[in-house]
A and B are shown apart, each in its own frame.
Chain A
């Protein structure tokens, strides 16, 4: 099988996630019971490998999973259109560490759950920005923002490899099981470094491999959308973050049972103070 191009990967991922969210958007319009959206990593082709989010796509399982990740108290006041469209592997620690007044950027904001939780933490003096490449996700996130009544959250459509965000404007970058979907991860980490203020923190959760992934997965587009093909080796992932200029990089990858080496990790890294962003091209 020929390896897919970066554009083919982006298109496949976008198509997959747009499809997942459409049922929920229709539900808002028609006020009919919501269609359960499947988890980030429960693409049918991913049956043999464990998913980052549990393979059960049912609504109850989805809600239970989210509740376990975020604790019931945090998500209890979020509408189901928010919690049903959370495809992440869990980023509660990053959200818990946020301080009032901080500016937060969520890479791949999806239906907005992490943004809304972050918005509560940073309070009215803070600000949360969500970036997602899928227009259907942005539309849903905006509708959710209206429902939740969040006034300190803004969403825009954009590419995490080419962020439409000013340099040195963000205190904390969060991202929940999304960076693996980007074909050019070096660009993602370079951009993250650029937009963070000196001393700012990158705190993301993602899928990585603890050992070399089976070669046939790397060229499978369905597995890209399922967060599996795009996942890097943990050591490679950390090396790319360091190469972008970050220091104090930590990663705590925990392997899934029977996961053939697939793992979920929480990564924390700091943009050192006093180091300018590397020169950028245009």
Chain B
């Protein structure tokens, strides 16, 4: 995902802001990292460039 996706991205549960932690990036593209919602205390992974924002109880 690119950094500008953060403009529109929110927590799927409370619709609050997410804090981004980048672990690996290539140019403008974030490949691995985490999106954290402080209000819900939930972490959503970014893996291979794909932010996984499925609600936690629906993840595999």
Binding site for B on A (CB under 8 A): 7, 10, 103, 127, 129, 133, 135, 138-139, 142, 154-159, 162-167, 169-170, 194, 280, 282
Contact = CB atoms under 8 A, between A and B. Distances in A.
13 contacts: A129-B5, A139-B50, A154-B4, A156-B51, A157-B50, A157-B52, A157-B53, A158-B52, A162-B55, A164-B10, A164-B44, A166-B8, A194-B15
Contacts of A138: 50
A120 B55 CA distance: 31
B2 to A, nearest CB: 6
B53 A10 contact: no
B20 interface: no
Nearest to A105: B8
A157 B51 contact: yes
A170 B9 CA distance: 12
A156 B40 contact: no
Contacts of A169: 7-8
Nearest to A194: B15
Q: Which secondary structure dominates chain A's binding surface?
A: mixed
A7 B60 CA distance: 11
Given A165-B10, A166-B10, A158 B53 contact: yes
- Bin the interface of chain B by size: 20 to 34
Interface of B: 1-2, 4-5, 7-15, 39-40, 44, 48-55, 58
Contact of A158 (B1, B14, B54): B54
Given A133-B54, A159-B54, A162-B55, 9 more contacts: A154-B5, A156-B1, A157-B51, A162-B12, A163-B12, A164-B9, A164-B51, A165-B8, A170-B8
Contacts of B51: 156-157, 164
**Which 5 residue pairs are nearest across A and B when measured between Cβ atoms?**
A164-B53, A282-B14, A158-B53, A162-B12, A164-B12
Contacts of A194: 15
Nearest to B13: A282
A280 B14 CA distance: 8
A129 B50 contact: no
A282 B39 CA distance: 10
A156 B9 contact: yes
A154 B50 contact: no
Contact of B9 (A7, A166, A167, A282): A166
- Among B1, B15, B39, which residue has the most Cβ atoms of chain A within 10 A? B15
Contacts of B55: 159, 162
A142 B8 contact: no
Contacts of A139: 48, 50
Contacts of A133: 54, 58
